[in-house]
Structure 1
Amino acid sequence: MYEITVARIRSSFINASRSEAAKLTLPRNFDSLDWDSLDFLGWRDGKMPLRGYLMLPGANGPVGIMLRAPEGGAKKNRAVLCELCRDIHSKDDVLLWVAKRAGQSGRNGNTVGTLICADFGCCRNVRVAPPVNDINPDPEAAVARQVEGLIARTAQFMDRVRGA
Structure 2
Amino acid sequence: MKPLTEQEIRTAFVNCTKGEAKRLSVPRDLADRPWEDLDFLGWRDPQAPDRAYVVLPTGERPIAVQLRSSDAGSWQTRRSMCSICVTVHTGGVSLLVAPKSGKAGQQGNSVGAYMCSDLACSLYVRRKKDAGTGGRLRESLTLEQQIERTVANLAAFIAKVTA
**TM-score interval, smaller chain:** 0.7 to 0.9
- Which residue is equivalent to 1:78? 78
Is this contact kept in 1: 2:39–2:151, CA < 8 A? yes
Q: Which has more strand, going by share of residues? A: 2
Is this contact kept in 2: 1:10–1:22, CA < 8 A? yes
Q: Which moved more, 1:121-130 or 1:106-115?
A: 121-130
Q: How does 1:107-126 map to 2 (within 5 A)?
A: 107-126=106-125
Q: How many residues align?
A: 156
Matched, 1:20 2:20: yes
Is this contact kept in 2: 1:73–1:95, CA < 8 A? no
Matched, 1:93 2:87: no
Is this contact kept in 2: 1:50–1:68, CA < 8 A? yes
SS in 1 for 2:75: coil
Where does structure 1 lack aligned partners over 5 or more consecutive residues?
none
Kindly tell me: are residues 21 and 144 of structure 1, through their superposed partners in 2, closer, same or farther at Cα, counting changes over 3 Å? same
Aligned-pair CA distance for 1:71: 4.8
Q: How does 1:57-72 map to 2 (within 5 A)?
A: 57-72=57-72
Distance in 2 (alpha carbons) for counterparts of 1:28 and 1:87: 27
Is this contact kept in 1: 2:71–2:94, CA < 8 A? no
Distance in 2 (alpha carbons) for counterparts of 1:131 and 1:67: 27
- Which residue is equivalent to 2:158? 158
Residue identity opposite 1:144 in structure 2: E
SS in 2 for 1:98: strand
Distance in 2 (alpha carbons) for counterparts of 1:9 and 1:153: 20
- Which residue is equivalent to 2:50? 50
Aligned-pair CA distance for 1:103: 0.5
Distance in 1 (alpha carbons) for counterparts of 2:21 and 2:125: 29
Structure ID, larger Rg:
1
Is this contact kept in 1: 2:78–2:90, CA < 8 A? no
Structure 1 vs Structure 2: percent identity of aligned residues? Answer: 34
Aligned-pair CA distance for 1:77: 4.3
Cα RMSD after superposing both structures: 2.1
**Normalized against structure 2, the TM-score is what?**
0.87
Where does structure 2 lack aligned partners over 5 or more consecutive residues?
129-135
Runs of 4 or more, structure 1, over 4 Å off, are: 129-132
